[in-house]
Amino acid sequence: MGRRDYLGRLFHETDRDAFLIFLVIMAFFGVFLIFPILYVLRGAFFEGNRFTLTYFNLMVTDPFYRQSIMNSTMIGIFTTLLTSLFSLPLAYLMVRYDFPGKRLMQGILLIPLVMPPFVGSIGMKQLFARYGSVNLLLMNLSLIQRPIDWFGGGFYGVIIMEALHLYPFMYLNTAASLANIDPTLEEQAENMGSNGFHLFRTVTFPLLLPGYLAGAIIVFIWAFTDLGTPLIFEYRKVVPPIIFSMVKDIWVNPMGYSLTVMTLVVSVVFVVFARRFSARRSYEMLGRGHIVPRVRNIRGWKLLFVYLFLLIGVLGALVPQLSVIMTSLAEEWFLSVLPAKWTLDYYRIVVTHDVTVSSIMNSLKYSVFSTTIDLLLGVLIGYLLARKVFPGKDLLDSVAMLPLSIPGIVVAFGYIVAFSRTFLNPFEDPTALLILSYSVRRLPYTVRAAYSGFQQTSVSLEEASLSVGASPIRTMMSITAPLIMANVIAGGIISFSAAMMEVSDSLILAMQEEYYPITKAIYGLNLRLGDGPYVASALGIVGTILVTACLLAANKLLGKSMGELFRA
């Protein structure tokens, strides 16, 4: 069959309506994802109409930029290593072993997800600053003479905060992979004489690698591009805060464009490498449907090690949360190990003060709208991908998943430069762009959730409905919708909670107090002298509680499969 015939056939089989919807969706992505990135690219490579590499050259020659890029990369790498060191054994332990308290642990493990690391940093500064609680305690006990710089000028502070926040992503991905390994594969290997570490190295590890890498992608990109945490640590020698500070000179200094492009390139390269690597190694598990993982019991003295490991790691990861809670309740906490007096005043301020109240309302408003867009587009895209035949389907799939590999800071910077001279101008009213940036960034979650809902719902269920006389609309309403509802709602909740605590987009795009979402209000408050950090902490806790409630609901709906949604 010739090419012409083939195209003719494709045209014949194409669902016209599906193709139209596809074009509309692509137009959306074109305007709100591709166009801003192209705009940044142009700004980075062209001065006027002249092609230039001056600013990329500067990244290498200028010691400040060179050092900052180095720092960012190192933060990304060290965070990923630190996270791996903890997450791999943790995943193995949680999937393969049974011990008293495991269920409780599974819940606690997810807590770090709900608070952005930059909020945790506010509390951590109280504990670990030069004259923070820890140093004071150690000096009081005469264990040290002079205060220790725990944060290494901010560098280690950022790494620790990122790792403490991000390890659940890696843990969830790795654990999902591990739980998916058909035990007969390992049993076969044991049957052939392999065991212990050899078995792990030759069979188990290669099989869980795709999940691990998926987690590693998220961790690296996040740590590499996080804006909030270095800002709180006032650590300026990393890329994101530099880009942040350049937003105000976007018309005069192209360096911001170039740094954004560099951030984008590094992220994309990392994603492509990791995907290549895991695609080559992602194996179809032999279709046996339900897999019961091999679970062993731990009893006796070994339990001690398990608890020690969990205590240091998992409970350690809760220190930022606890420190923020303490800060939010401390009437005065200055040059003392523990606050001298406790108060609920800051919560009163949170619910009465103009900026905080409006920030909560703003966040709710932005998130509701962005989630609505995500649900609409997510269900449509999921439906097209799962059920329809049309040219460009693969393209739609890649584009819909693209936001996962594009850092928030790139999207936000792109929006500023691309839309500042349009009616969407964020310098005047960032509402539209905030909503759009939230929805574009979180769209993959709803697409994935809806898609897997459609996948799990056999087409023959819909056909059965048509065959007994129900119209396609009726079929959609009474058969398909109820069956995919749990997935869609869960995807929506995850989108929503992510939008509620979105950092990079919020810090960059929201410039006037009246439009601040929660995160930007926290940032703004923290800069304020006096009660600033305390109110910021209280607001952080309020936001965290909102997000926690959302995630608990999603977890209830999705059960075990929630981890899979966080894959890159």
Partner 1 sequence: MVKVTLEGVSKLFGDFLAVDGIDIEVKEGELFFLLGPSGCGKTTTLRVIAGFYKPDMGQVYFDKRPMNDVPPHKRNVGMVFQNYALWPHMTSYDNVIYGLKVRKIPLSERVRRAKEALDIVQMREFAMRYPNQLSGGQQQRIALARAIVTEPEVLLLDEPLSNLDAKLRLETRQEIKRIQSELSITSIYVTHDQEEALSMADRMAIMNKGKIEQIGSPREVYSNPLNSFIAGFIGESNFVDGVVQSVSTDRVVVIAASGDEIHARTPIGELEVDQKVVCSIRPESIHIMDHVAQTSMGIQLFEAEIVSLTYYGVIEHYVLSSLGDMEIKVTNFNPEAKRRLEGEKVYVTFDPEDVDIFPY
The window from 61-69, 154-162, 302-310, 453-461 that contacts partner 1 (CB under 8 A) reads 453-461
The window from 131-139, 356-364, 419-427, 457-465 that contacts partner 1 (CB under 8 A) reads 457-465
**Complex with partner 1: residue 1 or 141, whichever CB lies closer:** 1
> Distance between CA 451 and CA 382 in Å, rounded?
4
**Complex with partner 1: residue 54 or 471, whichever CB lies closer:** 471
> Distance between CA 227 and CA 241 in Å, rounded?
6
State the nearest-atom distance from the C-beta of 485 to partner 1, in Å.
9
State the nearest-atom distance from the C-beta of 560 to partner 1, in Å.
18
State the nearest-atom distance from the C-beta of 375 to partner 1, in Å.
20
**Could you tell me whether strands 50-51 and 46-47 are parallel, antiparallel, or unpaired per DSSP bridges?**
antiparallel
**Complex with partner 1: residue 8 or 30, whichever CB lies closer:** 8
Q: What angle do CA 511, 513, 518 make, to 5 degrees?
A: 95
**Complex with partner 1: residue 370 or 457, whichever CB lies closer:** 457
State the nearest-atom distance from the C-beta of 471 to partner 1, in Å.
5
Binding of partner 1 at residue 6 (CB under 8 A)?
A: yes
The window from 72-80, 135-143, 186-194, 454-462 that contacts partner 1 (CB under 8 A) reads 454-462
Cβ–Cβ under 8 Å, residues 96 and 296: yes
- Interface mask (CB under 8 A) for partner 1, residues 466-505, using x and -? xxxxxxx-xx--xx--xx----------------------
State the nearest-atom distance from the C-beta of 490 to partner 1, in Å.
16
**Complex with partner 1: residue 325 or 483, whichever CB lies closer:** 483
- Helix, strand, coil abundance in the chain, percent, nearest 5: 75, 0, 20
DSSP states of 201-226 as a string?
A: IIIIHHHHHHHHHHHHHHHHHHHHH-
Total of chain residues touching partner 1, rule CB under 8 A? 24
Q: Which two tokens stand for residue 371?
A: 């989630």
Binding of partner 1 at residue 458 (CB under 8 A)?
A: yes
Output phi, psi for 50, to 5 deg: -95, 130
| Cα torsion 171, 174, 179, 180: sign | positive
Tell the burial category of 73 from Cβ atoms under 10 Å away from its Cβ (0-12, 13-18, 19+): middle
**Complex with partner 1: residue 362 or 465, whichever CB lies closer:** 465
Cβ–Cβ under 8 Å, residues 247 and 510: no
Tell the burial category of 364 from Cβ atoms under 10 Å away from its Cβ (0-12, 13-18, 19+): middle
**Complex with partner 1: residue 469 or 559, whichever CB lies closer:** 469
> Distance between CA 67 and CA 222 in Å, rounded?
19
Q: Which two tokens stand for residue 430?
A: 């960032």
How far are the Cα atoms of 113, 375, 416, 449, 550 from residue 489, in angstroms, in the given order? 19, 8, 31, 9, 11
Binding of partner 1 at residue 463 (CB under 8 A)?
A: yes
**Could you tell me whether strands 296-297 and 330-332 are parallel, antiparallel, or unpaired per DSSP bridges?**
unpaired
The window from 209-217, 234-242, 308-316, 459-467 that contacts partner 1 (CB under 8 A) reads 459-467
> Distance between CA 362 and CA 535 in Å, rounded?
18
Binding of partner 1 at residue 465 (CB under 8 A)?
A: yes
**Complex with partner 1: residue 184 or 478, whichever CB lies closer:** 478
**Complex with partner 1: residue 152 or 472, whichever CB lies closer:** 472
The window from 2-10, 60-68, 264-272, 493-501 that contacts partner 1 (CB under 8 A) reads 2-10
Closest among 108, 94, 219, 214 to 166, alpha carbons compared = 219
State the nearest-atom distance from the C-beta of 18 to partner 1, in Å.
15
Binding of partner 1 at residue 394 (CB under 8 A)?
A: no
The window from 5-13, 87-95, 320-328, 378-386 that contacts partner 1 (CB under 8 A) reads 5-13
Helix (H, G, I), strand (E, B) or coil at 50: strand
Neighbouring residues of 491: CB distance < 8 A, sequence distance ≥ 6: 374, 375, 378, 445, 446, 447, 448, 449, 450, 565
- Interface mask (CB under 8 A) for partner 1, residues 9-38, using x and -? x--x--------------------------
**Complex with partner 1: residue 282 or 561, whichever CB lies closer:** 561
State the nearest-atom distance from the C-beta of 14 to partner 1, in Å.
13
How far are the Cα atoms of 53, 236, 272, 552 from residue 568, in angstroms, in the given order? 31, 28, 11, 22
Binding of partner 1 at residue 287 (CB under 8 A)?
A: no
**Complex with partner 1: residue 452 or 465, whichever CB lies closer:** 465
**Complex with partner 1: residue 465 or 537, whichever CB lies closer:** 465
- Interface mask (CB under 8 A) for partner 1, residues 399-438, using x and -? ----------------------------------------
**Complex with partner 1: residue 234 or 463, whichever CB lies closer:** 463
Cβ count within 10 A of residue 11: 12
State the nearest-atom distance from the C-beta of 458 to partner 1, in Å.
6
Q: What angle do CA 269, 275, 278 make, to 5 degrees?
A: 140
State the nearest-atom distance from the C-beta of 160 to partner 1, in Å.
47
Q: In the range 74-93, which residues lie near partner 1 by CB under 8 A?
A: none
Binding of partner 1 at residue 245 (CB under 8 A)?
A: no
Binding of partner 1 at residue 461 (CB under 8 A)?
A: yes
User: Residue holding tokens 């910021």?
Assistant: 536
Q: Which one of residues 460, 529, 530, 559 is an interface residue with partner 1 (CB under 8 A)?
A: 460
Neighbouring residues of 427: CB distance < 8 A, sequence distance ≥ 6: 420, 511
Q: What angle do CA 14, 20, 23 make, to 5 degrees?
A: 110
State the nearest-atom distance from the C-beta of 455 to partner 1, in Å.
15
State the nearest-atom distance from the C-beta of 64 to partner 1, in Å.
57
Helices (H), 338-479: 345-352, 354-387, 393-401, 408-419, 431-456, 459-467, 472-475
Residues that bind partner 1 (CB under 8 A): 1, 5-6, 9, 12, 458, 460-461, 463-472, 474-475, 478-479, 482-483
